[in-house]
Each structure stands twice: as C-alpha cells, then as structure tokens.
Amino acid sequence: MRHIISVLMENEPGALSRVVGLFSQRGYNIESLNVAPTEDSSLSRLTLTTVGDERTIEQITKQLNKLIDVVKLVDLTEGAHIERELMLVKVRATGAQRAEIKRCTDIFRGQIIDVGTSVYTLQITGTADKLDAFLEAVGDAAVLEVVRSGVSGVARGEKVLSL
Amino acid sequence: MEMLSGGEMVARALEDEGVEFIFGYPGGTVLHIYDALFQSGKVPHILVRHEQAATHAADGYARATGKTGVVLVTSGPGATNAITGIATAYMDSIPMVVLSGQVQSHLIGDDAFQETDMVGISRPIVKHSFLVKKTEDIPSTIKKAFYLASSGRPGPVVVDIPKDITNPTDKYEYIYPEKVKLRSYTPANRGHAGQIKKAVQLLLNAKRPVIYSGGGVVQGGGSELLTALARELNYPVTNTLMGLGGYPGTDRQFLGMLGMHGTYEANNAMHHSDVILAIGARFDDRVTNTPNKFCPTAKIIHIDIDPTTIAKTIDVDIPIVGPVESVLSDMLKQVKDRCAKTPALPDREALQSWWQQIDEWRENHGIYHSPRYDLDSGFIKPQQAIETLYRVTEGNAFVTSDVGQHQMFAAQYYRFNQPRRWINSGGLGTMGFGLPAAMGVKLAFPDADVACVTGEGSIQMCIQELSTCTQYKVPVKIINLNNGYLGMVKQWQDMQYSGRYAQSVYEDSLPDFIKLAEAYGHVGIKVEKLDDLEDAMKEAFSLKDRLVFMDIYVDRHEHVYPMHIAPNGSMRDMWLSKTERS
Ligand SMILES: Cc1ncc(C[n+]2csc(CCOP(=O)(O)OP(=O)(O)O)c2C)c(N)n1
Ligand SMILES: [Mg+2]
C-alpha cells in the first residue's frame, strides 16, 4: 500500500542525506519526496510517499525515528488526512487545442500561469491521483514538460505534528 | 575564562571525558590536534600500524570495559582505513568515537589533497556523525558524540574536524558541557509496564520455555539479572555468538550457543519451545535459519532497547522496548511476586519433562556431554586446542578472535562464565579483528590473561600490530590454529562445491610465524603434536610479560559442527558431522 510519511527533523546539513541514504541502504523505495524549513527555522518538514507491506512500513517508520536528526514523524495514511501536490506542466497549445486545454484545465481547477504563442504553462494542485488524471486527459502528445512537487500533507482536524 | 585553540579543545575534551586511551595514527589534517595532545600529555595515545587496527583496538577496549573506545585518524586514507573497524563496531553496537581530520574548510569539495567525504562514506555504518564547522562547537560536539555513542543502543559516532578550526593561534573560550540533551533523541529508559506484565504471564505459563539472549545483555549490563531470572524459573538459556558470557557457560541450565553452529540441544530447544524469551538479541539470519520455518510453536517475547530490531525479521507476540537491565529487574520482581502468590507457577511437571527432553538431546548429540570429534586422528584437533586453552587459563581469560572455523571452535569450546570476556566480530565477521582487539583489552586489563584465537589467514590481515605490541609492551597470547587453509571457506567448498578449493589455499607461501614473531621481538612457540600442546600452552601463559605467538598445527580437514542445513532448513535441521544429519 502507498503511505505518506511526514517527518519533522533538524534543519541541519546532512540530515536529508541520512533520510535518503536510509531508503537506499535498506532497499525501501521513495516515490516522492519534498522538504523545506518550517515556521521554526531550526526544523524541516519532509514528506515522502512510499509503497510497502505492513512490516516494511513499520520498519521504515522505526528506522526513520531512529535517525538522530528526526524529531517526530507521522504516517498520515493511518488517519484522515489531506494530501496535496503541485504540478507545473508545459503543454503544446496551438489552434483548436488552445481552447480544449483551457477547458480541461478549468475542469481540473488549474490555472494557466504563462502563455506563449504555441505553449501554455499550467499549474494544477490536488492529490497525486488527480494530477495523474489530468495528464491522461491532456494526453502525452501535448505534454512537453512536467514538474511535480511531490506530495505534502497534513492530518485532518485538531491533530498537529509539532514539537 | 579559559581560551584554547581547536586542537587544544580536542585534547582537553578527551581528558574531561575521562578517556583512558586514544588509538590512532597521525597525518596532515590532525597535526594540530596531535601537537596539542603532545603538549598536554594527559591522555595516553597508542600508535597503531594501520588505522583499521586503531578502530579494532578501541572496539576491543570498549567491549571489555563497557567504556567508549576512542580513535583519532587523519583525513583521506586515514579515514577510509578506519571504515572496516567502524562497520565492525556498528554491526555489534559498540560505543566508539572516531575523530577524523578533514581538509581545511575552504578546500572541502575541491578534491583537495587527502580529502574524502568521511561523513558521507561512513553514513550507513555510524549511529551518527558530525562535521564540525566552528572551533567553538568542538567541546559540545565531542560531548554529544560520547553521549550518543554510549547511550541507548550504543554505536560508533564520527566527528570530522577540518584542520583550520584546530589552528593553534585561534583561541576561543572552552567550556565542556556537563550534560547534553538532544530533542530528537530520547532512548527508552523503562519498559512498558503493561507489556512486562503480559510477558510475565506468558512466561510463567510456559511448558517448554527457552531464554535466548544476545549481545544486548552483555552490553546492557544485564547478565546478573538474566542469571537470577533464569535460576528463579529453572528455565533453559541459550546465548547468541554475541551473547556468550551473558549467562554462565558451565551452568547446568546453559544449553550453549544457538544458530548456524549452535549446539544440538540449543537449536532443538528453540525449535520445540512454546515460549521464547528473547533478550537483547536480534533474530539474525545466522540464528534463525529459514525465517518462515523458525520455531513454529513458539510465542515470542522480545526485549530490546532498539525498536527497529523488533519484528524486523521474525514477528513477535510481546515486544518490550527498553534497557535490558531495567526490564529484567521489573520482570524478576514480578516473577517472584507471582510465584510467591501462586505456588503452582511455573508448571514444574511440564518443566521436568522439558528438561528430560533437553537432557536426552544433550546426551545424544551435545558437544559438552562427550567429545564429538575424532580422538584418535593423530592430529591436534582445533577443538582440543581451545579446550586446552580453557583449562590452562582456568576459564578466566579474555578471549578475542578472528573470523573462521577457529572463531566457532572458540565460541563452542571456551565456556565463558562472565560477560565481556568473549570478544569477537559477530555481525560483520571481520578477519583481522582479533589481534588489535586483544591489544585494546590487554591495555585495559594489564594483569589479565588475554588470548587472541586466530587462524593463519586472519592473523595476516592485521599482523603489523605485532609491532605496536612491541612498542607498548602488550603481552597478549596469540593462539594460531594453523590449518593451512582459509578453513571456513574450505568447509563450505567441501560441503557445497565438491571440494573445489577456489582460492582458499596458499600453496607454500605461509610465513614462518615463529621467526616472524621473533623478528618483532616476541616469543614464538610451534606445536605440532598433541602431547606437547598443554605444556606449551602453560609455558606461553607463564611468560607474563611477553607476547607469545603459538603456532598450533591442527587437523587441516576438520569441520565445524553442528551446522545448520540451508537453504530451507529450520532451527533443528543440522549437520552433526561430515556424514550425519539431524
Ligand atoms: C575481511 C574478511 N574477508 C573475507 C572474509 C571471508 N572469510 C570468512 S572465514 C574466512 C577464512 C578464515 O581463514 P583463517 O583465518 O585461516 O581461519 P580458519 O577458518 O582456517 O580457522 C574467510 C576468508 C571475512 N570474514 N573477512
Ligand atoms: Mg586457517
């Protein structure tokens, strides 16, 4: 199953390489990863998605927790949560395609953020599934470049991941 | 206010930390530190002949004393030479602090002379690591390194120090922190009360129990409590390779080592048990044999300080995360209370028939019941060499070992009654470990007998340390079980490759070890006949202040048994001799 693991860790040089190294060292896979400092600049928030059976996921969370730089973590998929990913897509947009792509973008509640004579740059946010669906709707032929942020997420309701 | 240079801070911090020995080797990037150590003269430094040996010596010191071993090496090749020893310590959870020099800060990343990314290279084999950026950070970083290395599940910590921040002319205020706290690091200090209660309940109702304890009991100071608990219950105990000495090896309740070369009775007791109490052990693949055939009828209680060891390879029923010492003391108390209230516990009748079964296994195939090797071969059997060592040292020596058949024979036939006496590279299986480790032990315990059981293959991996032993007068005894082969490799080739000895033979290239020992100023004793063995061994140990290299010619074709049948075997599936299977 796919899991979203959200990690609060020391904003120190080397911390990220320890997390990434752990995954390659122990043969776990990372599907997506994003990381940035939080409102407390001494902490970074790292979110990763991974796939594995129950035992693997348990090991992953335990091994992550064992890293000295990791302060706290949560497997968001264990409870109700919100997941978002940002995608920037450059698509070929000429002639009749221009209107078609605009329509499709609207349906997915995306925005056109840059316009060229033959290309649009689009921004779409949503779950990873939604972004996949959008790409499928637009079709491979039109897509020139895709940049995805990787999944980030938070738990629903009162629950927070903080010190 | 005390103003010190970075180099002085390192020297001073080690002194403030109470470090007894530094094992190291100098080079460009650590010269400021070496000069500061030279000038202060407070912490003795042992100059090894290869950085790998510095890590093994610090490791041996740590295993024997329980204190943190300290290593100091230069950047580049000095640092990379230390890697094998760091990995060795990591696999066996040994507290160690490795200080490595680094090129000057402004050169980092430029492929400067003797630059290597030590933090990067060592990352998968350290508990944690630091690259120190500022002189002012040296004391607190060293403090953190010692704290991390020695607390929780111990392990090696690397502190990489760029040369420029140790510059003798740049002085800063020196304050060595009394304590450190890391918000992201909080090792458990007690086991969960509810889990312990459940565990005691299960344990007391067992009909065929076995206690399986590992290196965590030795490291975590849990031996006495384990012994008390096992005796209170009259339950059988088996130890892992790393756990030997955690329970008295000559005790009636001791079944010997378990696993790939474990005893018949230990492996069978595990396989047929209904409750396993695993303490400070990690269900290593050399213990379990095929995981899905592991102990099919057992419920498992697992105590460990490190949550990642729990349910890593084998699912357990009652996990308890905590230091073995506190968990065992909680358990022992509850066991005593429960037994006092309910005299029917534990089930004595069930236990009696369990012991009967175990004794039968012992009689039929146990290595301690009667010799399982050929007594009339005309050769010195390696087992006999270890038995002789055991007798001559009255079971009280510190025994380090290298890796191979000799290691397994030592583990099987030297019966350790105390923890921290058996010092070997269990997890990584590092040939070359034995001699430098023995140096570290002997320096810590100058009056004790320290024997390094080795093979003619392994000893050559760190033989240069004979010179260190000369310089510092470290009179260890080297017990070289010379079978003229990479014996353990040959054994596998005999068993699985129809005796094709691919690169496990040396032709006639072995050195004359006696002359070699003598060249370094030591004593060499060659033993070729069984009749001479005991007297020669006695002579070696009577030479208290000399390093003696005993070159013992043992049967070249002996195998280590029992041996798990793999792949697809269970705990109880073993070869018992070259022709006999369980
Ligand atoms: C550094 C290293 N390289 C290779 C091995 C693989 N290995 C395990 S045992 C062994 C043979 C050891 O030979 P020797 O020291 O003579 O011991 P014996 O088995 O003959 O008693 C080898 C090569 C190892 N454990 N460590
Ligand atoms: Mg050999």
Residue B1 has pLDDT above 90, yes or no: no
Strand B254-257 to B22-24 pairing: unpaired
pLDDT on residue A19: 97
Residue contact A66–B307, C-beta within 8 A: yes
Strand A70-75 to B3-5 pairing: unpaired
A residues 4-43 near B, CB within 8 Å? Answer: 9-10, 13-14, 17-18, 21, 25
Residue of B nearest to A56 (CA): B312
Residue of B nearest to A12 (CA): B130
**Nearest residue (CA) to ligand 1, atom 18:** B487
Q: Decide if B163 is catalytic.
A: yes
Report which secondary-structure segment, H or E, holds A86: strand A81-92
- Among the residue ranges B251-260, B370-379, B417-426, the one predicted with the least confidence is B370-379
pLDDT on residue B178: 95
pLDDT on residue B141: 98
Residue of B nearest to A163 (CA): B183
Residue A163 has pLDDT above 90, yes or no: no
Percent of chain B scored above 70 by pLDDT?
100
CB of B190 closer than 8 Å to CB of B25: no
Neighboring chain B residues of A18 at a CB cutoff of 8 Å: 123
CA A71 to chain B, closest CA, distance in angstroms equals: 4
Neighboring chain A residues of B185 at a CB cutoff of 8 Å: 68
The count of other CB atoms within 10 Å of the CB of residue B275 is 23
Helix B487-496 and helix B405-413, axial crossing angle in degrees, nearest 10 = 100
Query: Distance, CA B196 to ligand 2 centroid (Å)?
Result: 46
Tokens of A13: 């040089």
Tokens of A101: 């792509």
**Residue B102 — very low, low, confident or very high, per pLDDT cuts 50/70/90?**
very high
Residue contact B120–A18, C-beta within 8 A: no
**Residue A153 — very low, low, confident or very high, per pLDDT cuts 50/70/90?**
very high
Neighboring chain A residues of B306 at a CB cutoff of 8 Å: 66
| Cβ contacts of B224-227, under 8 Å, gap ≥ 24 | B225/B324, B225/B325, B225/B328, B225/B329, B225/B332, B226/B279, B226/B324, B226/B328, B227/B251
Residue contact B120–A163, C-beta within 8 A: no
**Nearest residue (CA) to ligand 1, atom 3:** B431
CB of B193 closer than 8 Å to CB of B330: yes
Residue contact A14–B129, C-beta within 8 A: yes
Q: Mean pLDDT over all residues of chain B?
A: 97
Query: Distance, CA B222 to ligand 2 centroid (Å)?
Result: 35
Residue B143 has pLDDT above 90, yes or no: yes
Residue contact B312–A59, C-beta within 8 A: yes
Q: What is the mean pLDDT of residues B205-223?
A: 98
Residues B68 and B95: their CA atoms lie apart, in Å, by: 5
> What DSSP letter does each residue of B387-427 carry, written as one string?
HHHHHHTTT-SEEEE-SSHHHHHHHHHS---STT-EE---S
CB of A130 closer than 8 Å to CB of A101: no
**Nearest residue (CA) to ligand 1, atom 2:** B431
Pocket test for ligand 1, best of B424, B431, B456 (most atoms within 8 A of CB): B431
Helix A128-138 and helix A96-107, axial crossing angle in degrees, nearest 10 = 160
Residue contact B185–A68, C-beta within 8 A: yes
Nearest atom in ligand 1 to the alpha carbon of residue B84 is 1
Question: Would you call A63 an interface residue with chain B, using a CB distance cutoff of 8 Å?
Answer: yes
Residue B530 has pLDDT above 90, yes or no: yes
Residue contact A71–B184, C-beta within 8 A: yes
Residues B421 and B443: their CA atoms lie apart, in Å, by: 14
Q: Decide if B51 is catalytic.
A: yes
Residue of A nearest to B128 (CA): A68
Query: Distance, CA B490 to ligand 1 centroid (Å)?
Result: 10
In terms of Cα–Cα distance, which of B394, B207, B203 is closest to B303? B203
Radius of gyration (C-alpha) of chain A in whole angstroms = 18
Q: Which of B143, B163, B299, B381 is catalytic?
A: B163
Neighboring chain B residues of A13 at a CB cutoff of 8 Å: 131
Residue contact B307–A9, C-beta within 8 A: no
Rounded (10°) CA dihedral B333, B334, B336, B341: 140
**Residue B500 — very low, low, confident or very high, per pLDDT cuts 50/70/90?**
very high
Q: What does the pLDDT look like over B467-488, one tens digit per residue? A: 999 999 999 999 999 999 999 9
Q: Decide if B488 is catalytic.
A: yes
Residue B212 forms beta bridges with which residues? B238, B278
* Cα B228 from chain centre: 24
Query: Distance, CA A128 to ligand 2 centroid (Å)?
Result: 58
Q: What is the mean pLDDT of residues B209-219?
A: 98
First to last CA, chain A: 28
Ligand 1-lining residues (CB < 6 angstroms): B 402-406, 429-432, 455-458, 481, 483, 485-489
Q: What does the pLDDT look like over B280-336, one tens digit per residue? A: 999 999 999 999 999 999 999 999 999 999 999 999 999 999 999 999 999 999 999
**Nearest residue (CA) to ligand 1, atom 4:** B431
3-state SS record for B279-323: ECCCCCHHHHCCHHHCCCCCEEEEEECCHHHCCCCCCCCEEEECC
Residue contact B183–A163, C-beta within 8 A: yes
pLDDT on residue B56: 98
CB of B559 closer than 8 Å to CB of B261: no
**Nearest residue (CA) to ligand 1, atom 1:** B431
CA A82 to chain B, closest CA, distance in angstroms equals: 26
Neighboring chain A residues of B128 at a CB cutoff of 8 Å: 68
For testing contact with chain A, the best of B184, B282, B283, B316 (most A CBs within 10 A): B184
Which phi and psi (to 5°) does residue A124 adopt? -130, 140
Q: Decide if B113 is catalytic.
A: yes
pLDDT on residue A31: 95
Q: Name the percent of chain A in helix, strand, coil, to the closest 5.
A: 30, 40, 30
pLDDT on residue B295: 98
In terms of Cα–Cα distance, which of B43, B40, B64 is closest to B443? B64
Q: Decide if B114 is catalytic.
A: yes
pLDDT on residue B217: 98
Strand B171-173 to B3-5 pairing: antiparallel
CA A52 to chain B, closest CA, distance in angstroms equals: 14
Neighboring chain A residues of B148 at a CB cutoff of 8 Å: 68
Q: Mean pLDDT over all residues of chain A?
A: 96
pLDDT on residue B470: 98
Collect all residues with Cβ–Cβ distance below 8 Å to B580 and sequence separation of at least 6.
none
